Amino acid sequence: MSFPQIRQVRAFVVRGGGADYHDQQGGHWIDDHIATPMSRYPEYRQSRRSFGINVLGTLVVEIEAADGTIGFAVTTGGEPAAYIVEHHLARFLEGRDPASIEKIWDQMYFATQYYGRKGLVVNAISGVDLALWDLLGRLRGEPVYQMLGGAVRDELVFYATGSRPDLAQSLGFIGGKLPLHHGPVEGEAGLRRNLEALGEMRARVGEDFWLMLDCWMSLDLPYAIRLAHGAREHGLKWIEEALSPDDYWGYAQL
């Protein structure tokens, strides 16, 4: 099967809570007192917007084929990632066969390796890759899951991230992932408040509802271990992003 060549790659940025979920107005739970790597600094502890968590915005990538068919995808990265997509990555797609997905990904990755490998650049590559899969599915007239081998189950289950897993339970979600409010810098009192809040939520939702903690890279190894031991009685499903993503040895020990 032959496909029309890729004519153009476009990238733009969307602002507001409907795009980057961090970009919310004051008073939203996601901008509350939540443990982050910046919690060690008192002036950035109360609000995540205070240290610029929402500055980038959502990146939207569109890939248009010669016949006018458009594939699109969303990721994070804002204006810097949009620049990378249009001024660097686009050359590996425009005029090419949209079915050459693996080759295009390889070329984008290795061409940016000297300044990429993680963060904004990989976000930009991911946005292009997702849009390319979307385009190919539209050109083939079939959903992407079918191109990947077909459906393996009849339904999916979802959990919700937020400060009220009990509300998620009432809406039919299988579990709820709570933000961790207090990090290592807040000491024993903060750890105690974390465990008390977890215990209170477990009492609300019962034993069969999944509960998880989102630590957002904010912990050190000793605190993460103590949190895990303290939370054991409350039946956590998992603890997410406990340490810095670069702390390989810490994760191995954890």
Residue 219, token pair as written in the block: 């912990």
What is residue 17's predicted lDDT score, i.e. its pLDDT?
Answer: 62
Evaluate whether residue 30 is within a structural domain: no
In the predicted model, what is the mean pLDDT of residues 144-165?
Answer: 95
Same domain, 105 and 77: yes
- Only one residue has tokens 């992003």, namely 241
Q: Rounded to whole angstroms, how far apart are CA atoms 179 and 159?
A: 14
Domain holding 240, by residue range, is 159-253
DSSP state for residue 150 in the 8-state scheme = -
How many CA atoms lie within 13 Å of 129's alpha carbon, on the beta-carbon side?
Answer: 15
- In the listed set 121, 147, 173, which residue is the last one of a domain according to the structure? 147
In the predicted model, what is the mean pLDDT of residues 226-244?
Answer: 97
Evaluate whether residue 101 is within a structural domain: yes
Global confidence as pTM: 0.91
- In the listed set 147, 178, 211, which residue is the last one of a domain according to the structure? 147
Evaluate whether residue 228 is within a structural domain: yes
Same domain, 79 and 103: yes
Span 66-107, pLDDT tens digits? 999 999 999 989 999 999 999 999 999 999 999 999 999 999
Task: Tell me which of 49 and 247 has the higher pLDDT.
Answer: 247
Q: What is the CATH number of the domain that holds 111?
A: 3.30.390.10
What is residue 18's predicted lDDT score, i.e. its pLDDT?
Answer: 55
What is residue 20's predicted lDDT score, i.e. its pLDDT?
Answer: 62
β-strands 58-65, 70-76 pairing: antiparallel
- In the listed set 97, 116, 147, which residue is the last one of a domain according to the structure? 147
Residue 17, token pair as written in the block: 């809570």
The answer to whether the CB of 128 falls within 8 A of the CB of 61 is yes
Nearest to 197 by CA among 218, 177, 178, 183: 178
Q: How far apart are the first and last CA of the chain?
A: 49
Q: What is the CATH number of the domain that holds 221?
A: 3.20.20.120
Q: How many domains in the chain?
A: 2
